[in-house]
Each structure stands twice: as structure tokens, then as C-alpha cells.
Chains A and B, each alone.
Chain A
């Protein structure tokens, strides 16, 4: 039979002091650690989605939708107006195209030129794109219109970053 272990006064004080000291050290370290690894917790701008339209509104004809995002641009923090041409394609998938011409950055319109009723048309230098946003050879643009990342949640269309093609 072993005797029940007795904790001496000296041991007891040692335990409590170590415990308390450790607790205080942890209290000091925690904010420092949090501070050091802070960038890891920053929400990244990529992957941010904004609700843009009700899915019910979308048709096979491209429609223009506008929304605002916050943007930090060097010194300035500002609201930036974004817009997209959105429609459903033959496979009933939602397509959201950036309206910014890949030539020099004007805003393109859908079917605004009578001669090309089924194309995107840039009023600046007559650049043209097919309905899926691919530039038509022989016109100034050299790349297709960028596509927005999109997702549908609870009947609303959300758009994110635009992806160059």
C-alpha cells in the first residue's frame, strides 16, 4: 500500500506560481502572435461576390446590370461602378460579360449597330464581338470580352472577379 501522495507547501507554491506565470505569458504572447500572422486572416478581395440581379429577370437577350464595389486605388478609396451584360445561352447557362472593350477600354453596347443586330458593338472604333463575347477578326479588338465569375444563390445572381480570356 502506498501512502497517499502529499503535496508539500513548497511544491504547491511552485505549481501555482508556474501556472500563473504561464497564464500571464500566454496573455502577453497571444496578441503578438495574432499581430504577426494577421495577413493570413485578411479577407482577400478575390472571391468577393456582389448580388447583381434576380435570376428571373435574365433572358436570352443580353441585359445590362450595374452595381457598385469599394475599391482601394493607391491613395483613394472609392466606390466604383461596375456593369455587365448578362444573358442565358442555348444551354440555359448564365453568361456575364464585361462591357469594357479589349481594344482601348470604351464601353460596348449590345446590338446598337443596325448592321450587326446580334453582336456587341464598340462605338469608339467599331470593334465587334459575337454574342459569347469573342472578338470578330478584322475589327480593332484583339481579345474576347472578359467573363465574370458567377454563382446563383437563393434566386439571386452573384458576380465576382472578371477573368480575361
Chain B
């Protein structure tokens, strides 16, 4: 389910089946041109993955709006992120996945109230190229498996 009126209408009717929330975590870098460009690429890549996961598990996962944050200092972010998770928990989500390519989250993993799915992404690339596409397919398959295992 996407974060859209139509999909959430359906979510409201079928809550007993939809118990998983997927939150993409995407940093925004503004210091330094290279970093900015590369963070934009992270953003595109993350959106692509989120879309694939949403399509695969449309009937059980809600794709939350992206959690964006500035810079690398995720230590200051974890509190706000946990607030997000708490407020989403008012709905009946049993599983909450946090999806990011930002490795800084790994240090905070234990203190997060959701399950972190961290993957080393790509620094830069062309989303149309066959290499990137096969990378994305391969990684997406991994994520799909992890989610399935968590459900079991």
C-alpha cells in the first residue's frame, strides 16, 4: 500500500491483514557538491527499492512517507525517528522496517524501535543501466527474503 488516499482507504477496511510498515530513511547532504549529488542518488535508489518492495507485498505492507534528515549525525535523529515509530504504532502495525543505505544507522540499531534493513547501496550510477538494474533486482530479492523470514 502506498501512502495515498486510495490505498489507505483500502488499508482502513482490511486492517486485519496489513500489519507491516516500511519507512525509508534518506539523508540529505548539502555540504559539498559531490555529497549533495550523491545523496540525491541515494534518494533515487531508495525510492526505487521502496517501490519494488511495495509492489511485491502490496497487500501486507504500508509504505510510509520517507523519513528525511540533514547530514550524518543520526545520533540526534534517533529520538525523532522513534517518535515517528511510536505514533505509527497507534495503528495496528506489528512489524516496522526501517530501510536505509546510510551506514551511520547501524551504530544506533539497538536503540531504534523498528527493525533496521541496512544495505550498502551504490555511490553513484545510472538507474537505467543493466548493471544497476541487476544489482537492484538481486538486492531486492534479499530484502524480500528477510521480510518473509521476519513474518514467519
Chain A residues at the B interface, C-beta cutoff of 8 Å? 81, 101, 103-107, 122-125, 140
Contacts and interface: CB of A to CB of B under 8 A. Distances in A.
Contacts of B144: 123
Contacts, number: 35
Contact of A105 (B59, B148, B151): B59
B17 A140 contact: yes
B58 A106 contact: yes
Contacts of A123: 57, 144, 148, 151
A105 B58 contact: yes
Interface of B: 10, 14, 17-18, 55-60, 144, 148, 151
Nearest to A141: B59
B55 A104 contact: no
B55 A107 contact: yes
10 contacts: A101-B59, A103-B17, A104-B60, A107-B57, A107-B58, A122-B59, A123-B148, A124-B17, A125-B17, A125-B59
A122 B58 CA distance: 11
A105 B60 CA distance: 9
Contacts of B60: 104, 106, 124-125
Given A103-B17, A107-B55, A124-B59, 17 more contacts: A81-B55, A101-B59, A104-B10, A104-B14, A105-B58, A105-B59, A106-B58, A106-B59, A106-B60, A107-B58, A122-B59, A123-B148, A123-B151, A124-B17, A125-B17, A125-B59, A140-B17
